[in-house]
Structures are given as structure tokens and as C-alpha cells.
Structure 1
Amino acid sequence: MKRTRFTDEQIIGILAEHEAGAKSADLCRKHGMSKGTFYNWKGKFGGMTVSNAERLKTLEDENAKPKKLLAEQMLDLAAMKDLVFKKVVGLAVKREAVAYLRAEHGLSERRACSIVSVDRTMSRYRSRRAPDTVLRGRLRDLANERRRFGYRRRFVLLRRKGEPSGINRIYLLYREEGLTVRKRKARRKAVGTRAPTLVAARPNARWSLDFVHDQFANGQRFRVLNVVDDVTRECLAAIPDTSISGRRVARELTALIDRRRKPGMIVSNNGMELTSNAILRWCSEQRVEWHYIAPGKPMQNGFVESFNGRMRDELLNETMFRNLAHARVVITAWATDYNTERPHSALDYQSPADYARTLTTAIARPATRDESSARRAIAQPAPAGVNTNRAPVAAG
């Protein structure tokens, strides 16, 4: 706003001369102003004394303060409304919010920090941490190799290769790189109490058997016969074929017994191939106890059902099989990796093969006097950084 050359007292003095009889033209020529300015002064200060002018100026100054405060509050309210749809939590997000308010609304740093409720020193902070380019690249490579692995299993794989970073650091980079695994919709779980069947903690104590189905690129369907050791969680067999009869199942189990010895029990559902005369005859000849679960109760065969879920999530849903030969090669390689490399959360993030070796060693080692009345550990603890406390899950 352009400032006038005359004070309020001088203006009132000029108007007093005019009221005393001086002509307006002479006053304008004398004081160097236009007639428009003179009549503006007359409309504003006509009939006022110096004390009245001072009082008016004081009132104007007092009114200017609330107006200024109201304008500032309205501007702050507009800025806060602009941030109402943003989740302003965490230091990094708050720094971004301060920068946004300063750039978009032209606020000062002090006002922007007061709106976001942060300290100005925090808004100026710049991290000195190394960019972790190598570790980020290794995480992306793991994400490309094992797309359905979460950050815990990727952390275990990196720790095996000597990575010293903790699981919280891995999780932070995992989120920043956008490697979060999309969760598929789970089935509704039954609620109730479960009485588990007691199984001796040794390999070959009990096997579980089931089929899983998929199709080739041309639409032809095939099935995979999965056999799992319930104690060591090893995949003993994963046999794909377009058709698997009861006699084929008996033949594959005979070959498996030749390699691993006879199991204490085999658990399966009531499928046609598994209740055929070929299987019944095989059980009688091999003297193997075969347990059939209750119809419509797949949770009673939970070990192989869980394995089927992992296979479908990590392999079948991620792979387009060209033909049967291709399926055999890929499924065999995946089963080998599952047994030897993949960390298993139920085994304290050991691989099934490592857990089986540890279990066999613990069984073969003679008990000492201190261990005669105590339960011996049969598995190594989880890698540092992995939480092994698991909440109980209600199941039917």
C-alpha cells in the first residue's frame, strides 16, 4: 500500500485551514496535492480533531490484529484439510507433509511444523545411513527367484549367506522396495478344539498322502501324487502324471519304502485310488497300517494339505507347464529345493532335510544322565531376529 506524505495530524490541520476560510485550490497548490486527494481527506477526517484521529487509528490497529489472526487460522485450516486424507504418521511422512505445505500453501517452516506437530529440527533432518544398494539388489533378486516368499524366509536365506542385517532392517527395505507378497483369500477355518494324534518324533513315523490337480498350457489336466513325512515335513515324493491308478500308487510306495524303510502309518483321504483293492492288497502284503480320515474332514490330514497349499501357492500358480515332461522336471526341482533350501516356519526356519538330520542325530545319540528325565532338544533354535512365539490357532 502506498504511504502518504502527510500524517493524520497534518491532514486535520489542512482541513482546519479550509474550514477557517481558505480555498481548496489554494490549499492544494500550497501543499502539493490534487483536489481528489483533498476531498478524500475531507470525507475521512472532516469534523475531527487530532485526538479523534489518534483514537480512530488505535481502533484500526486493534481491529487489524483479529483480522490477521482470523486469516492465519483460515489458512491453517485449509492446509489441515489438505492433509486430512493423508496418514501423517512416522517421521519420514511428517517431513514430506511439511515440505508439501511449504511448497503448495506457501507457509513458513515454523507454521508448517506447528500444523503437523513436529519439531523444526526434525523436519530439517537428513539421514546419513548408507543407501543399502547391494542389499536392496539382493532382496529384489530373491523376490524374482521366490515370488511367494515373505520377508521372514528371505531374511533366513540372506542370513545363511552371511548378511548381518537384522530382520527389522530387512523388513524396512522389503516394504520400501514394494516387495510385499499379495495374500490370497483364505478359506474359512473351523472353530473348536482339536485332539491331535500322538506321533513319535522320528522319521518315517507317519506319512501323509494326497493328490493335487493342475493343467498344462493346452488345457489338459494332470495330477500330482504328494507323499509327506509328517514329522520331518520332507516331501518324499511328488509324482505328476495325467492318470495315477491305485496300482501306480502301490508301486510308487514300494519304491519309496526301498529307499527310506517302512513307515509306522500312512494317512490319506477316501479317494477311489486310495481305497482300491490294489491298495488294500498292498497294505496286507507290506504290513503297513493305513488310516483313512473321516469323510469331509481334510483337516485330519493337515500335513499334506498344508504342503499342497505351499506347492500351489509357490509353484503351480506361478508356473505355466508346457507338457508332462516339463512338469516332471520343474516339480522335481521344486521338491528338492523344498527339502534342502526352503526355510520351514514350523521347524524353526530350518529346511526339512536339516531338521531330519538333526532329529536322527538326537535319536541316535545315547541319553546322558542329565537328559534321562528331561526332554531333549531335537531342533536348532531359529536364526537371530526371527520370533518363534506362535499364537495358538483354533481349528476343528
Structure 2
Amino acid sequence: MTAEKRECASILVDAGLSIVKACLFVGISRSTFYRPERDWRKADAAVIDAINAVLDKSPRAGFWKCFGRMRFKGFPFNHKRVYRVYCQMGLNLRRRTKRVLPKRIAQPLEVLEQANYQWALDFMHDTLYCGKRFRTLNVVDEGTRECLAIEVDTSLPAGRVVRVLEQLKTERGLPKQLRMDNGPELISATLTDWCQNHNIELLYIQPGKPQQNGFVERFNGSFRREFLDAYLFENIGQVREMSWFWRLDYNEERTHESLGNLPPAAY
């Protein structure tokens, strides 16, 4: 920045302005204007070598980690000089900024009592007996309370969500609406583009308002109590197999008070 101001002052002086007025105009002192330029790469060669030595061993280290390693090795440079050189070398990493969601408008939880019109999606998580974590993607038909799918794996990105919907499309067709929260998999371009291509309306609930997705949250509670908390699982394959049998029982045998004490399949 100082070099740029000195260059601007020089241009003003060449144009006929006095040095005093040129320095006042760009905001530098006359001593700065008269000071001869120096090559910071030569003047700070020792600092550059020290930084490069640290980054050779830890390429993703930020400034303070880098400075701490240099101090531990006994380099006498203070943090201001190291930070100046660190920035001049273009090493300062960009901060990760939180993605800003569009404003979600509260919508009434209106449901048509017909199949394949409104579906709800949500994720759950649990652990195997060995401590390994896994996730489940639950898909529920809001009109009939039928559980359409329970996808189980250690990772369920947006591509897997689309794959599950493609399987359901083959089995029973697609709904008009999908109700879901603002998870990263559910707001990704992969899913939103796929829904747009299939003319599916996305109904996002407001952040921190799970009651706006009440039907799938009610299902999650039953799934947690009757399945996830009831068994210890040894591996992912066992979870998939047992959840498949549990889903059949839930849809064909388990009665629901909201459906007149009928199972979803009979309703």
C-alpha cells in the first residue's frame, strides 16, 4: 500500500504539484516519499526461508501455527514482521464463511389424504456396537404415513438422496411436493436441479423449526424408540436388513391412531 501511495505521489509531482501537497493528498509523509525503495524479498530473505521451511512440513498451517513453530525453533522475528511477509507471499488463507440461506417462510402443515402427493425427508444418525457412526435417510408419505424408504450408510450425500428418489420413481412414481429441512444434502444443487427437472415443488421448513416437518419427525420418534434404541448392531449390513423388516411391519402390521387404527398399507 505504501509503495502504491508513493507511486501516486510521484505521478502528481510529475504533473506539476509540489512534493508537500502531493504527500498530503495521498496521505504519506515526505520522509516516506524520499525513502529509497527496497526489495522486501532480499530484506526479509531469512523470514521467507523460515516460513518455507515450516510450510514444507505442514503445508496447510495457518499463520499462528506457522509463527508458533518458528518461535519453537528459536527464530527471533516478531509476529508483525512475520505476518507482513506471510501476507506478501500470498499465504494468508481465506476464512470459511457460513452459507446464508434464503429466507424461509412459515407454511401451514396442510396434507392431502392421498398417496404420492406429499413426501417428507429427514436424516437420523446412530452408532454401531463398535462405535462407528451411521446415518439413515427416512422418506415418509405424509398422506398415508407410509414409510417409503430407509436408506442406511455411513455417508449419505446429495447423490445418494437422488438415487433413493430414482428408485422410488421406478417403484411408485414421484410426488408433487417434498418437505424437508435445510441440511447441506437437501439444499445442494444436485437435489434441487433434479427436483426442478421432475417438476417437484420443494417445501423447506424454517431453520430450528422441526415441528414444521411434523409427520417425518413423528416417524423418527417411533423409529428411534422401536428400532434404533432397541437393538445393538454389529455392522451396516445388519442395520439395512433389520430396518427393511421393521419397515414392512410398520407399513403392513403396525396400526396408527391417526389412520383410524389401520396400518398405512390398509389405509
TM score, norm. by length of structure 2: 0.59
Given candidates 331, 339, 348, the residue that maps to 2:260 is 348
Q: Deviation per CA, 1:233-267: give whole Å up to 9, x if none.
A: 00000111000000110111111122111201000
> Which whole-Å CA distance do the structure 2 matches of 1:196 and 1:349 have between them?
25
Q: Partner residue of 1:276?
A: 188
Counterpart check, 1:223 vs 2:162: no
Root-mean-square deviation (CA, aligned residues, Å) is: 1.3
Ranges of 4+ aligned residues in structure 1 off by more than 4 Å:
none
Q: Partner residue of 1:265?
A: 177
Given candidates 227, 247, 251, the residue that maps to 1:315 is 227
Q: Deviation per CA, 1:17-76: give whole Å up to 9, x if none.
A: xxxxxxxxxxxxxxxxxxxxxxxxxxxxxxxxxxxxxxxxxxxxxxxxxxxxxxxxxxxx
Cα distance, 1:232 vs structure 2? 0.4
Given candidates 294, 311, 324, the residue that maps to 2:236 is 324
> Which whole-Å CA distance do the structure 2 matches of 1:197 and 1:207 have between them?
12
> Which whole-Å CA distance do the structure 2 matches of 1:197 and 1:306 have between them?
13
Cα distance, 1:200 vs structure 2? 2.4
Answer yes or no: is the 8 Å Cα contact 2:109–2:213 preserved in 1.
no
Amino acid at match of 1:305: E
Counterpart check, 1:288 vs 2:206: no
> Which whole-Å CA distance do the structure 1 matches of 2:198 and 2:234 have between them?
37
Cα distance, 1:346 vs structure 2? 1.1
Counterpart check, 1:199 vs 2:111: yes
Answer yes or no: is the 8 Å Cα contact 2:179–2:213 preserved in 1.
yes
Answer yes or no: is the 8 Å Cα contact 2:109–2:212 preserved in 1.
no
Q: Partner residue of 2:157?
A: 245
Counterpart check, 1:212 vs 2:212: no
* Greater percentage in helix: 1
Answer yes or no: is the 8 Å Cα contact 2:122–2:139 preserved in 1.
yes
Amino acid at match of 1:235: C
Counterpart check, 1:303 vs 2:196: no
Q: Deviation per CA, 1:151-187: give whole Å up to 9, x if none.
A: xxxxxxxxxxxxxxxxxxxxxxxxxxxxxxxxxxxxx
Amino acid at match of 2:221: G
Q: Percent identity?
A: 46
Cα distance, 1:195 vs structure 2? 7.6
> Which whole-Å CA distance do the structure 2 matches of 1:262 and 1:213 have between them?
26
Q: Partner residue of 2:166?
A: 254
Is there any run of 5+ residues in structure 1 with no aligned partner, and where?
Answer: 1-193, 356-396
> Which whole-Å CA distance do the structure 2 matches of 1:209 and 1:201 have between them?
18
TM score, norm. by length of structure 1: 0.40
> Which whole-Å CA distance do the structure 2 matches of 1:284 and 1:208 have between them?
17
Amino acid at match of 2:198: Q
- Count residues with an aligned counterpart: 162
